[in-house]
A and B are shown apart, each in its own frame.
Chain A
């Protein structure tokens, strides 16, 4: 018997005792190995999936059914077992013939349309309650952690956000020629007053999520943001504040790091830029003098995974690991500090369109020009783009808890 058939048989056998591993085995069988088409029939798969779920709930072994039906049966069974556990992210280490480590992550009910859910030939949609995410992708480690408390509780209101940048003219203190690096902002005090005004207006507008652009918040301004979050009284709570990013020396290497804080100014996540900027606009080679990171941390909120990416980490389209990283991880929400111009924003839109079709992804981008006082806050919601050419965008995310 071929190895993939062996793993399929094993998945059926262990589904009751070990549904998590069974789910991953079946996912590998239909998604990674692509063994899906033979005998694929939607009404049959739906019927078999119900039969399989009932068998599991009665403590019986999963009958020999179509792999797609088995996948949904285990998904439904696991959803029943997970009632009351809140958003679940479990790390599953495969063994005995199946390789790799995966995250099994609970997903918001109704994240895709009912028509999409009936597509048994598309495992991303067909797997309704969970998603399977590899713990590593082409050398990049993927970790999942709980989101701050304000994003764990399902909300009946659309989450409000504020994204954008600054027209104060404060630029990073670049060195003279490429490769470019910066240690501080030219005027951190002026930048802090801009940031404080932005945060105050975000709090006043009831924004839960704030995103600031790449290379706009240095260490000094960052500490002021934390202190402000910790010590001011506000009408509404922030769930996440993505405090831009900046270059910093760390462990003998220069990195571009974005910090994410919660409402109390505690750090909930750091993202080290994966893909340094390298480009040749106007016949001139321009390069960012940093080393790329190799870790992506995702936060697990009630509506799905939240990812943070700095500029090219998200919109890169070449034959490099980050290009299909987000396709594999399937985030519901991407928060993107970015430094670029119109072509960069168009690249973000194209990537979001692709991810929106696959995973329902929405991207919030805070974009700032690297050399002039120009900024945009942008929401990419599938095919829709919202920015209206303003430096700041007050918007709302599309989901509510059903």
Chain B
């Protein structure tokens, strides 16, 4: 019997048994929809701190999973709404210690959704030097900021601002390696059609006055 069926049976009998929160492995808890926990919080009078910590574990790991694997908007929306509705209105005072924390997790998902909603990689590419930088990064992932700045004869502050915009659009990703900041292709650059990549390479090549090697 899986957990949801087991839980339905429990609530039907009005037993309000919360023991599965402590008996199941974390992985098994994460496999359950958040609505199960919302129902539990609504119907059970026996919740103790251990149970709430188990629910907290589910909430925070759900959020981390979604953020790490760059989930799509619909998944983020569903999880965000489920977390916002987790605590019934009548129990908000009782669960006041947990509420701000769970709302903060939902805020993280909202922030991610806001980023997705406002991405406009085409406009970012129109920025001065953006095409050249992307061409460099695609050709040689892991270049340092200093190397890119030297090649394009850009001041560090100016380069940093352009990279900031490209990073916000997920066209590049900056990683700290020791004291250096290395620039790698971002998620959106990797997933963009070849035609755009080729265009970036051509613009980069034109700027450097070298032959473009476009496949």
Which A residues lie at the B interface, using CB under 8 A? 16-17, 54, 57-59, 80-87, 146, 149, 152-154, 223, 226-227, 230-231, 262-266, 302
Contacts and interface: CB of A to CB of B under 8 A. Distances in A.
Given A58-B128, A83-B123, A223-B89, 7 more contacts: A81-B161, A83-B124, A83-B168, A86-B118, A149-B77, A149-B110, A153-B113
B158 A154 contact: no
Main secondary structure of the interface of A (DSSP, over half): loop
Interface string B109-128: 01001110111100110011
Interface residue range, chain B? 20 to 34
B103 interface: yes
Interface string B150-188: 000011011001001100111000000000000000000
B118 A84 contact: yes
Given A59-B154, A83-B169, A153-B113, A226 B118 contact: no
Given A59-B157, A264-B84, A266-B103, A84 B117 contact: no
B92 to A, nearest CB: 9
A230 B88 contact: yes
Main secondary structure of the interface of B (DSSP, over half): helix
Interface in B91-147: 103, 110, 113-115, 117-120, 123-124, 127-128
B88 A57 contact: no
A273 B87 CA distance: 30
A266 B84 contact: yes
B81 interface: yes
B85 A230 contact: yes
B165 A84 contact: yes
Nearest to A226: B89
Given A154-B118, A230-B88, A84 B169 contact: yes
B90 interface: yes
Contacts of B77: 149
Contacts of B157: 16-17, 59
Contacts of B165: 80-84
Nearest to A17: B157
A302 B117 CA distance: 10
B80 A149 contact: yes
B110 A152 contact: yes
A256 to B, nearest CB: 23
Interface in B64-87: 77, 80-81, 84-85
A83 B120 contact: yes
A152 B54 CA distance: 32
A84 B115 contact: yes
A152 B117 contact: yes
A393 B120 CA distance: 36
Contacts of B110: 146, 149, 152
A16 B161 CA distance: 10
21 contacts: A57-B127, A57-B158, A59-B155, A80-B165, A83-B127, A83-B169, A84-B168, A85-B168, A87-B114, A146-B114, A149-B113, A154-B117, A154-B118, A223-B89, A227-B88, A227-B90, A230-B88, A231-B85, A231-B88, A231-B89, A262-B84
Nearest to A149: B110
A152 to B, nearest CB: 5
| Residue from A153, A223, A263 having most chain B Cβ neighbours under 10 A | A153
A54 B127 CA distance: 10
B113 A152 contact: yes
| Residue from B77, B89, B165 having most chain A Cβ neighbours under 10 A | B89
Contacts of B128: 54, 57-58
Contact of A149 (B114, B127, B158): B114
Given A57-B128, A81-B165, A153 B114 contact: yes
B97 to A, nearest CB: 17
A82 B85 CA distance: 32
B114 A84 contact: no
- 7 smallest CB-CB distances across A and B, nearest first, come from A59-B158, A153-B117, A84-B168, A264-B84, A86-B118, A86-B114, A84-B169
A86 B123 CA distance: 13
A227 B117 CA distance: 29
A105 to B, nearest CB: 15
Contacts of A82: 165
B95 to A, nearest CB: 13
Contacts of A264: 81, 84-85
Given A59-B155, A226-B89, A84 B120 contact: yes
Contacts of A223: 89
Nearest to A80: B127
Contacts of A17: 157
A264 B110 CA distance: 14
Nearest to B90: A227
A59 B119 CA distance: 24
Contacts of A153: 113-114, 117
Contacts of B155: 59
Given A80-B127, A84-B120, A227 B114 contact: no
Contacts of B123: 83
Nearest to A88: B118
A84 B126 CA distance: 13
A262 B103 CA distance: 13
A85 B123 CA distance: 13
B124 A86 contact: no
| Residue from A149, A153, A227, A231 having most chain B Cβ neighbours under 10 A | A149
Contacts of B118: 84-87, 154
Contacts of A154: 117-118
A242 B114 CA distance: 23
A238 B2 CA distance: 34
A86 B155 CA distance: 27
